[in-house]
Amino acid sequence: MKIRILGSGTSSGVPRIGNEWGDCDPAEPRNRRTRASALVEHGDTRILIDTSPDMRAQLLAANVGRVDAVIWTHDHADHCHGIDDLRQIFHQLGHPVRGLARADTRQTLEARFAYVFHGKRGYPPTATIEELPDAITIGDISVRIVDQPHGGTRSAGLRFEADGKSIGYATDFHELTAAMAALYTGLDVWVVDALRRWPHPSHPELSAVLGWVETLRPREAALIHMDQTMDYATLCAELPPGVQPGYDGLELVA
């Protein structure tokens, strides 16, 4: 089983509009970050995590034309507003793309993008959406889910398992609850939000994430959802063994 980080950036990406690179070296291609998304694969099964506004370019870069399901972690724009590009996957598959989300996210997405799920003016729906339970099997991959606090809302944290291997994906949360710690303990790979070096009301800062890595002890961890203050080379020089800054296109094998 493997995970490909399709997008490793925060909601504004790196660089921000205006060619704002912040502390990131523009000569380092791994500092160019699109909005957060990932693809988990095992056997013949592909699961897309979120439909970022950069989804088309991300899937073209990954040479991916079909997925078996998409799981939305929550309804913020940087995680779902590329949803219209599911239309092309619908054409590849020949049927609507299977979508899953927690009840609150499902309700919002279904209202915001009714045409995607119900069609409009003779155009068929391009995706379905069903409630994401606490545990589900999609093709060759088992998925367990935990609710994560994300400012005044919540997101879905994910643990993927296949053939005794495990991958965790934790984005858009600001504290580690006991239920989250239980889900993320003992992972082979943990892909985790690390927005910046100082506190934020809805995302974790780097020092907190490194403390959780020490406690949860994944075999390896990769940081995502990073802003323009998080330079790739600087992070490589300061991170402990087993932790690396994620970047667009990075593949990690469990």
Q: What is the pLDDT of residue 144?
A: 99
What's the CA gap between 47 and 40, in Å, rounded? 5
pLDDT of the residue at 68: 98
Superfamily of domain 2-253: Ribonuclease Z/Hydroxyacylglutathione hydrolase-like (3.60.15.10)
Nearest to 6 by CA among 45, 46, 62: 62
Q: Which of 207, 206, 239 is nearest to 224 (CA)?
A: 206
Q: What is the mean pLDDT of residues 130-142?
A: 99
Please say whether the beta carbons of 220 and 250 come within 8 A.
Answer: no
pTM summary value: 0.98
Give me the residue label for tokens 């858009």. Answer: 172
Tens digits of residue pLDDT in 65-123:
999 999 999 999 999 999 999 999 999 999 999 999 999 999 999 999 999 999 988 89
List helix spans (H) across the chain.
Answer: 55-62, 77-80, 86-93, 103-112, 114-118, 178-184, 206-216, 232-238
What is the average pLDDT across 192-209? 98
* pLDDT per residue as tens digits for the range 223-237: 999 999 999 999 999
What is the model's pLDDT at position 221?
99
Q: How far is the C-alpha of 198 from the C-alpha of 158, rounded, in Å?
A: 25
What is the C-alpha separation between 224 and 78, in angstroms, rounded?
Answer: 13
Q: What is the pLDDT of residue 121?
A: 87
SS3 label, residue 154: strand
**How high does pLDDT run on average in the chain?**
98
Judged against a pLDDT cut of 90, whether residue 15 lies above it is answered with: yes
Instruction: In whole angstroms, give the CA distance from residue 141 to residue 68.
Output: 11
pLDDT > 90? residue 191: yes
Q: How far apart are alpha carbons 130 and 100 in whole angstroms?
A: 5
pLDDT confidence of residue 122 = 86
Indicate if the alpha-carbon torsion angle 122, 123, 124, 129 is positive or negative.
negative
Average pLDDT estimate for 199-207: 98
For residue 50, how far is the Cα from the chain centroid?
6
161 vs 170: CA distance, rounded Å: 15
